[in-house]
Structure 1
Amino acid sequence: MTENDLLYTLALQHVPNIGDITAKRLISHCGSAEAVLKEKSQNLLKIDGIGSVTISDLFKSHHLKEAEKEIRFIKVNNIEVSYFNEANYPEKLKHCIDSPILLFQTGKIDLKNQPIISIVGARKITTSGIAFCENLVEQLAIYNPIIVSGFAYGTDITAHKAAMKHKLQTVACLAHGLNQIYPKVHKKYMVDMEKNGGFFSDFWSTDTFDKNNFLKRNRVIAGLSEATIVIESAEKGGSLVTADIAHSYNRDVFAVPGRTTDSQSIGCNNLIKHQKAHMLTTPLDVPYILGWELESEKQPVIQKQLFVELDATEKVIYNYLKENDKQQLDSIALNCNLPIFKVSGTLLNMELKGVVRPLPGKLFEVI
């Protein structure tokens, strides 16, 4: 985007009562942020969902002045800016209704052509939680995923450090502007983080440090990734918010189960109990459910047999998938008039026979 576009977009972002969803609605209607700020108020009020309170502060001149200051900060610090409907904006985040209209970044982040997962969990992570997280990243390293987290104490920094140890790209989503770092003790990791990925934020350098920002930040963590993994969580916590957001985005969620008596397992156990998360007991559950393939596997070693014998149920499912292309497990069960548990087991047998394969998003297709 041009500097002029950035100026007006920042100014629009600075207006109270106008969040990301409303800003996108206004930009979509008027064509650009500049057009919004130059439109007549009576025309803006004709837009569905836009009322007088929303635009009451829109035309005040100080928004542009503050935007000019932020542009100076962006230039001095070589910060890259992504606009929500341009090519350099993270693809998965584009599909989230409440994603930031602007995303600021430092480092060498490249989100193309690699699987992306978020790893979150308790700040007071247990020794076993640390071990599971480190082993998870180590076992997944062969798939070269990008590891996203929030750079906080506990699970977040464990995931980032494990990613860097295994030379994986890792991205930290911050709950404050790029002029500061929290917690300060993690400043020592910044150089290595920017060599192996970097930092994202949708907050300005002038934004005050507020605990509510961490909850807002969580939508970016969830939105960037195809799946969110919760290592440990108490009954309430920010990682559960991230999991709920990911679930609302129709992304896969994984949770590590624990004993019912362990306080740091209550949140994960509840996610599994309420069917908001897959139970994660081994790192290989992740590539299996998400349908990841190694480079060496992309040309299948086991070719489909010429004369595969299918039982009656397998034939029903095979014919349905052949006629309807890729389908989710629920759709297969519904349209084949079969219980989900039976479809799940049958699909596994068919996969072993080399006639179907799983795909990301809980989809299956005929080979």
Structure 2
Amino acid sequence: MYASVYEHPKTQPTHYIMQPISDAEKICILALMHTPGIGAVTIRQLISYCGSATQVFQSDYRKLIKVPGIGDKIVKAVLGKNTLEIAEKELVNCRKFGAELLFFTDNGYPSRLRPLYDAPIALYAKGNTDFNWPRTVGIVGTRKISEYGKSVTEQIIRDLVPYQPLVVSGLAYGVDITAHRHCLRNNLATLGVMASGLDVIYPAVHQRTAFEMQENGGIVTENALGTKPDFMRFPARNRIIAGLSDVTIVVESARTGGSLITVEFAQNYHRDVFAVPGAINDPQSEGCNFLIRDNKAAIFTSVADLADAMGWAPGIPDVTAAATAAADLPPMSFEGFTQDEGQVLSLLKQSGAMQIDELAWQSGIHLNRLATLLLNLEFQGMVRSMPGKKYGLI
């Protein structure tokens, strides 16, 4: 029902140079976000075409009208520069509130989100967490959680402790808040993705939990301060949960609901999904059972089985060591490979194992073509498919 709002645009990946962002550039990006009629895809096109958000506002009509997908109405809205003052005040307010602003061109922006076609232009965050945590698990489900659901959620969190993932959920009633609170009890990092501004905790009864989460995790949103949790913001929130998670676990879900929307996004992002089975006559487990029946989710039996499927060993993986080991491989000859194949092999050698979305973003190769290239390289014995939709050199 909501997927069409975030339909994949028929454009090639766009690339940006990751570098420190000045306050002037931050204000200009925020101003573009507040400009009527402009969405994330359009903002990326404008910045890519002009070189920076600052240069977008310094461009004239003749230059902006040439940007693909930009019409007369949008150009005039940008040239009006009416949102620059709003953006400047927003940046000041964020700093007063203690919120961190992460833009999609920032080094600290979540690497799992950056390659996605509908990734937020900016994230507002508060807390103490690394958005590029080595392992992430999304836990979602019904707001009307049963005793069975509470018991399973508690067990999942307890059993995840040896693997030390960042647990991502939505701070809502039911499964979400149960997961967050048990993470706090087990000293496991947890992140709450909100459908409102950081200063509008919803539901309000979860304010204390949201505050406690900021010691080992935090809260994050794509919405400006003061934004109310309107209905249509929840599907948008769900896509961020799916995008931040290597694997999503649905604990309990009715036949319809936000959890199933999260699953749709996770599948679109090529992420793994597990569902906890329930009684066949329990409406609160009907959604999970259908996901398993329709092969939209693997059946969740234990954290140990999930860890095995994801290729996780207990402890926190040393990502730096893995990348260093890949870089230390003997020199590779790309003779006999196409230019695109050589580029993929070079990236995998430089960075180690990579998720297919990140590989597509780094290489600039369309996802469908990249999947074919990787399959050919597997047949040639050059790369291997790994758990979590990752690929690495053999």
TM-score by shorter chain over 0.5: yes
TM-score, length-normalised on structure 2? 0.75
1:145 paired to 2:165: yes
Q: 1:223 Cα deviation (Å)?
A: 0.9
In the alignment, does 2:274 pair up with 1:254?
yes
Residue 292 of structure 1 aligns with which residue? 312
Please point out which of 42, 54, 60 is paired with 1:34: 54
Structure 2: distance between partners of 1:297 and 1:112: 13
Superposed CA deviations along residues 100-134 of structure 1, whole A, max 9, x for unmatched, are: 11111111012345311110110111110111111
Segments of structure 2 that go 5 or more residues without pairing to the other structure are: 1-20, 319-348, 356-370, 377-383
For residue 362 of structure 1, report the CA deviation from its aligned partner. 5.1
Paired AA for residue 133 in structure 1: T
* Distance (Å, rounded) in 2 between the aligned partners of 1:50 and 1:8: 18
Which residue number corresponds to residue 120 of structure 1? 140
Q: 1:233 to 1:208 in 2, by over 3 A?
A: same
Structure 1 residue 203 and structure 2 residue 233: aligned?
no
User: What does residue 230 of structure 1 align with?
Assistant: 250
**Aligned counterparts of 2:229 and 2:78: Cα–Cα separation in 1:** 24
Measure, in 2, the Cα distance between the counterparts of 1:193 and 1:16.
Answer: 34
5+ residue gaps, structure 1, are 299-324, 336-356
Runs of at least 4 residues off by over 4 Å = 295-298, 362-367
What's the RMSD between the two structures over aligned residues? 3.0
Match of 2:83, SS state, is helix
Higher alpha-carbon deviation: 182-191 or 264-273: 264-273
Q: How many residues in Structure 1 have an aligned counterpart in Structure 2?
A: 322
Deviation at 1:272, TM superposition (A): 2.0
Secondary structure of 1:119's aligned partner = strand
| Letter in structure 2 aligned against 1:68 | E
- Residue 16 in 1 paired to residue 43 in 2? no
Larger Rg: 1
Distance in structure 1 (CA, Å) of the matches to 2:142 and 2:385: 31
**CA offset at residue 295 of structure 1?**
4.2
TM-score (structure 1 length as normaliser): 0.80
- Structure 1 residues 176-325: aligned runs within 5 Å: 176-295=196-315
Secondary structure in structure 1 of the residue aligned to 2:214 = helix
Cα deviation digits, residues 173-192 of structure 1 (max 9, x gap):
11111122110001121331
Q: Would you say the 8 A contact 2:248–2:272 is kept in 1?
A: yes
The amino acid that maps onto 2:165 is: P
Match of 2:94 among 74, 90, 105: 74
Contact 1:12/1:37 (8 A) holds in 2: no
1:284 alignment partner, SS class: helix
Say whether the 8 Å CA contact 1:253–1:278 is kept in structure 2.
Answer: yes
Q: Which residue of 2 aligns with 1:360?
A: 387
Give the counterpart letter for 2:95 in structure 1.
Answer: K
Going from structure 1 to structure 2, the CA distance change for 1:65 and 1:162 (only over 3 Å counts) comes to same
Distance, in Å, in 2 between the alignment partners of 1:154 and 1:89 is 29
Letter in 1 for 2:120: P
Cα deviation 1:214-252 (Å, max 9, x = unaligned): 111111111111111111111111111111101100011
Residue of structure 1 equivalent to 2:150:
130
User: Structure 1 residues 194, 263: closer, same or farther in 2, change over 3 A?
Assistant: same
Q: 1:66 to 1:364 in 2, by over 3 A?
A: closer
2:393, 2:54 → 1: CA distance? 49
Match of 1:310 in 2: none
C-alpha distance in 1 between matches for 2:207 and 2:38: 33
Counterparts of 2:393 and 2:46, CA distance in 1: 43
Counterpart selection for 1:5 from 25, 28, 46: 25
Asked whether the 8 Å contact 2:170–2:241 carries over to 1, the reply is yes
Deviations 1:285-315 (A, max 9, x none): 21011111124999xxxxxxxxxxxxxxxxx
